[in-house]
Chain A
């Protein structure tokens, strides 16, 4: 392993870790006696600066594929176009989380909170670019441990502790499943490198042990993305965690985990981008691959369908807005998994160089587009919920009664974000769903994907009902209490900014799609 390469690849992670240390030093060293408000603001701004440094570091890395190899020559970490899209998303969403932190007072240990979030975020960056089982595992644990800690951060709240414990127990179990699955994969192939594992499996043909391993892996990752039946932690955690923590879990952790799922399926592509396989070799792989990966996709599709159904139907009866958002997150995971699972392996050019697998990229772009915009929208939604909760003391739906009278701007933001989550044009949520479903059908127009897309569209029609339940309280039903709700100016500015972004990206969908697209050229 070349240490200069290592430094080059992990530049953004390094920036975040340094920022975490700076935050700790500044907060614990210099600001002990200062008012909490100032400490929160300073820590949050330092966190934002850290994310900015991370973005700058990504810029420095350049736009080409760059792989870090270990001593035996197999890839460990990669950076480059599509990984970068996910990493930029992670950094921006983390920065937004910090901005929403300003003005909150759930903890006195702000320095630690910001530092932990930064470290978790660097775990997310690692996961997004990992090519090796061990790196994946380390990155994932770095991310998850941070999430457990920030969930428990409201020390005076029993709910926060309960949520963290549930999250931790489920999470620990799922990590064990994941690691067990990984051990099988290693046993089958003798390597921890994803491409090597895939090659070994294709060459030896599919074996039952491989599918068992895959089930374990799906269990572990299904937990991270809150897919049914591994979703039980989500409602409690979303409800109990302090708002910035919940927003972070709902957005950044999702982006990282879905990018990882893409990588697991697509190490091919990255592999193909850097290696010359020779035509006969490539042919052999293509012949095998369809049969090999089909059961894997089938498992994901089942999970996806279950998530869509359970998430949407359970959300219908929720009275707490956070739990509603949790179930809606489960449903959204279902839609996204559809995009991950439907694949097609075909195109390679005549020279036999594994150039591109076009249709796969199509749905992959759509998946990235979906998670990024979903993350953005959901952070905003949690921001609105936190403002209302602080003013009314409860996150139940009824505390949104008469919101349009109490703070009309906040109500407008809520309207935009929730309609976007429901997928109403011209908001970005429509294009994400639309793009994803179209991509799925573009990859494979067979009856199974079509039925699943039809199910997804039907389920998102169902989802409008529960989003409207909240909006109905904000706009239609009479207010019980008409005292104005005051939001911290920074929070309000961030929320309005997010809502504006949702509208603009919805009216001009080519902006973000074009950017993601350009990462593939």
Chain B
């Protein structure tokens, strides 16, 4: 059933591409219908998969000469991330309801991207996964370059080159695995049992892990993320931060960690306090957490604050993955879900609800606009999203980050302590942005403004309300009742850590 999410999205993209130019309204509704259907399948698949391990959805020989199968399957991790994709897809459509320029092309690229994302999360063949991973690159480029804002062509090309460089690294690694394993199957499960030589794992692991981690925004390869997020149209930033960065993290877990279990072993010597690739990547992840947060604190552009906060939050995902213990990895997967929802929500508020009405993202200009009084819905939504993003108990981010920190503490307390500093700075930058954008009482007063200019902001529309309520509701629900996702994630993580799944 889950496999239909992929087919449906690509079919939707094809139909959109063939729609006549003038029917923007039809394109929107069609896109929404496809996204809703996708989520329906995702939820149905999630419910049906409760309590089950890995379920094979489709298995057809694809390239027989190389043993590549069109192998779609889902375990708990996949099901959770597919669910996230379904939610993000709907929210993205809702927040691009105002797109008039080449609307059918926009949704064609959008749905192709979604289809690729679903595909990555459901692939259990190494090369099939890679194919879907690459399919997702090109639509991103066009979404940003055509419909974006600030420096869009630069940002789009930067993102495309970073992504393609990352996937080139991955491809080199995959070809090396293929040549070294010498087996006639490229299934992820079979390859994880292939007993690759340790020396091979030692050099191939960092290559593949870094390749995927570039897309996950790992410091110091994160620079595509803020510029890309800022330049992208709202729906694309929501998807970029919400699910595309997760593709990278998912690749790190499913390919990097699962196929090279020995790649994380100690080197046998230590250099500058680093004794294994695990230390190296953990340090990079922790730097990403703190650095992203500090840089977000200094931004003058509202959207850049959110852009850098993504780098910081994705650092938690990577840190969680690299702990390699049950709780840390579970936390990382939950953090992927949580950040996917919350980053989407934040970008929607900043890029769409606020920007479409104020036409500025400069915090200094927003300060003079008294948005809390003139746009109470946006202010309230941002407060909720901001609290959730800071890690307020009761929201999904808290459960996830707590688990990551506990997992990290078990391995090396210093990682957890430093990452904790990141959380504190996270509170500071969210607070600062919230205060400046919504609650500043700089002159002139709201009352004066409205009287002088006779200027009222356009009313909040139903797609905006629906989107905000949906995303905030999901975050709250998961925060209050994380068991619903954890029950799916934990067994899958356990199996994966025990030896690549069953």
Contact = CB atoms under 8 A, between A and B. Distances in A.
Interface in B39-75: 61-66
A121 interface: no
A441 B178 contact: yes
Contacts of A461: 161, 164-165, 167-168
A22 interface: no
A476 B164 contact: no
7 contacts: A424-B135, A434-B171, A435-B66, A458-B172, A468-B157, A476-B153, A509-B63
Given A419-B138, A424-B138, A457-B171, A510 B157 contact: no
Contacts of B17: 412
A514 interface: yes
Interface in A468-521: 468, 472, 475-477, 509-510, 513-514, 517
A412 B142 CA distance: 13
B179 A442 contact: yes
Q: How large is the interface on A (under 10, 10 to 19, 20 to 34, 35 or more residues)?
A: 20 to 34
B178 A438 contact: yes
Closest 5 pairs between A and B when the two form their complex, measured CB to CB? A441-B179, A461-B168, A425-B131, A476-B145, A461-B164
Given A419-B138, A510-B63, 19 more contacts: A412-B17, A424-B134, A426-B135, A434-B171, A438-B179, A442-B178, A445-B176, A454-B172, A457-B171, A460-B168, A464-B160, A472-B153, A475-B142, A476-B146, A476-B153, A509-B62, A510-B61, A510-B64, A510-B65
Contact of A425 (B65, B135, B157): B135
A167 interface: no
B424 interface: no
A464 B145 CA distance: 15
A426 B131 contact: yes
A475 B179 CA distance: 39
B176 A450 contact: yes
Contacts of A513: 63, 65
B180 interface: yes
Contacts of A425: 130-131, 134-135
Nearest to B133: A425
A468 B175 contact: no
A468 B160 contact: yes
Nearest to B134: A425
A468 B180 CA distance: 34
Interface in A390-445: 404, 412, 419, 424-426, 430-431, 434-435, 437-438, 441-442, 445
B141 interface: yes
Nearest to B68: A509
A453 interface: yes
Interface residues of B, number: 35
Contacts of A435: 66
Interface of B: 17, 61-66, 105, 127, 130-131, 134-135, 137-138, 141-142, 145-146, 153, 156-157, 160-161, 164-165, 167-168, 171-172, 175-176, 178-180
Contacts of B157: 465, 468, 472
Given A431-B63, A453-B172, A461-B168, A472 B145 contact: yes
B175 A437 contact: yes
A420 to B, nearest CB: 11
Interface string A142-169: 0000000000000000000000000000
Contacts of A419: 138
A416 to B, nearest CB: 11
A457 B179 contact: no
A438 B142 CA distance: 30
Nearest to A458: B168
Contacts of B66: 435, 438
A476 B138 CA distance: 13
